Amino acid sequence: MRLLPDDPRVQRRILALFMPFLILLGYWYLILGPGREGLRETEIALERIGGRNDQLHSRLTALDPISEASLELYEEYLHHLEGLVPLDGELPELLHDLTIRAREDGVELIRLSPLGQRPGSYYTVHEFEVALIGRYHDIGHYLAEVGSLPRIVQSYALELRRIGAPGLPDGPILQAEFKIRTFTIPTAGGSDG
């Protein structure tokens, strides 16, 4: 049993007769019929998602109104702060700077002993015991120089003791003992303890 005749002219006529019907059926299904319902549901869901996305975006900008300029400024500050904390390998250079400053300020550095180190989450704390001999103002100048180094160095627990005669013209000779604390960023594979 054959569905179409063998003659090509008759086949074209039958196809031409059914083509408008197929076009109307497709139009009805996609635009007016059940296909339209699925498309409409998808559009509604997309509108809901877009609305929710807009709400969340407005909440986020209300909570965190950081502009690009502010972010660039914060990055610059962070870069500067990272420069204040040396890497583990830069610690000997920092200790050399302390020794040079003592010579320049006219004080005699008699002890610079490590007290240990404590690893932290982001940096390692290094503590040292320092003892030096000099005049009061020279020791004060040295401590000011240490505090103004380009790295973070904290001086604390200062004790002054007179060791020279009190009647000298520039003031008595003192011995200062104190501790310093500095911080380093651990290097990968470096020793932290």
pLDDT of 93-134, one tens digit each?
888 888 999 999 999 999 999 999 898 887 889 999 999 999
Predicted TM-score (pTM) of the model is 0.55
155 sits in the region (left: phi over 0; alpha: psi -120 to 50; else beta) called beta
Tell me the pLDDT band of 158, cut-offs 50, 70 and 90.
very high
Sketch the domain layout of the chain as residue ranges: 88-184
Contact by Cβ (8 Å): 149, 125: no
Q: Which CATH class is domain 88-184?
A: alpha beta
Q: Is the dihedral of CA 105, 107, 113, 117 positive or negative?
A: negative
Tell me the pLDDT band of 193, cut-offs 50, 70 and 90.
very low
Sheet holding 153-162, edge to edge: 108-119, 124-135, 173-184, 153-162
pLDDT digits (tens, 9 = 90+) for 58-96: 777 666 666 667 778 888 887 777 777 767 677 888 888
